[in-house]
Amino acid sequence: MRDVLRRMARANRPHLHTLTPQQARAAYEAGAGVLEITPAPLPRVEDVRIPARDGHALPARLYAPRAQAEGALPVLLYLHGGGFTIGSVATHDVLCRELAHQAGCAVVSLDYRLAPEHQFPTASNDAWDALQWLAQHGASLGLDSTRMAVGGDSAGGTLAAACALLARDAGLPLQLQVLIYPGTCAHQDTDSHFAYAHGLVLERAGIQWFFDNYVRTAADREDWRFAPLLAHDVEGVAPALVCLAELDPLVDEGVQYADMLRMAGVPVELEIYKGVTHEFIKMGRVIAEARQAHAAIAAALRAALGTSPVVDK
């Protein structure tokens, strides 16, 4: 991890928060695969469209470890990170391929709409619309909508946590929520936000820039869809796997949310990966903890969804 940080410093590329959103998206996408593992080959990868409540067709990508004709597969709706401003299906392609491969389930990765063009609560609405659509129409894609999970990293983890709460309220059963270093607090004022504010991939100024793009008013920060820690009641939500990075501004709020779920009687598996930073999940070529996290997430999905890993031939 230290070597990654040194190489990033030597590259001396501009911080994303000093760029326009469009420039930041291009820069993030250009570097997204540099530290990734080799993409897992899958027999079925196809682009699909999922309708949002306003009629917009949301791009998504379906990954499946077997052909549609071989039977319905349970599904994970995956929501990428990027501060609601950057990131895409493309930037998280390798991760979603690996999860489908190891977990033996389908993964649907969603291109929800990004800020500042689409501010709060558009991303949350898009994610929830996609989850509901999969529950109602997943069979048309060869999916078993009775066995579903939702997950994401960073901002995508925030969206996944919100979806789990909305699903509970709507009576939509989920078997698991996978929260990878999720944002859960309203004001980024925990100790870790100050302890790890600089020099560790995700910086305080960058977080502020992301959220300035996303929120419309101060009141948006007090909405539990932005800050799940503000939810009045989390009892009865789906069991959670919470994967955190030790050297991350978001680590404290991740622990706090896991504790909040546990106090409400929700089964929680919490793992804090030592010595790594935000974004480590996408650094599997050089960071062993990323590969360990892939395996842990896949194992949790297999246990929750009743699947088996793909056997390499």
Tell me the pLDDT tens digit for each residue of 63-87: 999 999 899 999 999 999 999 999 9
Q: Active-site residue 154, yes or no?
A: yes
CA-based R_g, the chain, Å:
18
pLDDT reported for residue 309 = 81
Catalytic: which of 111, 129, 144, 248? 248
Which one of 144, 154, 193, 294 is the catalytic residue? 154
The count of other CB atoms within 10 Å of the CB of residue 199 is 11
Report the alpha-carbon distance of residue 158 to residue 154 in Å, rounded.
Answer: 7
What pLDDT, on a 0 to 100 scale, did the predictor assign at position 310? 75
Residue 167, Cβ neighbours under 10 Å: how many? 21
92 classed as catalytic: no
Taking Cα atoms as reference points, which of 87, 227, 213 lies closest to residue 153? 87
Each of the 313 residues of the chain gets a pLDDT tens digit; together they read 999 999 999 999 999 999 999 999 999 999 999 999 999 999 999 999 999 999 999 999 999 999 998 999 999 999 999 999 999 999 999 999 999 999 999 999 999 999 999 999 999 999 999 999 999 999 999 999 999 999 999 999 999 999 999 999 999 999 999 999 999 999 999 999 999 999 999 999 999 999 999 999 999 999 999 999 999 999 999 999 999 999 999 999 999 999 999 999 999 999 999 999 999 999 999 999 999 999 999 999 999 999 988 766 5
Residue 124 is among the residues annotated as catalytic for this protein: no
pTM for the structure as a whole: 0.98
- Planar angle of CA 122, 127, 131, nearest 5 degrees: 145
Report the distance separating Cα 251 and Cα 192, nearest Å. Answer: 6
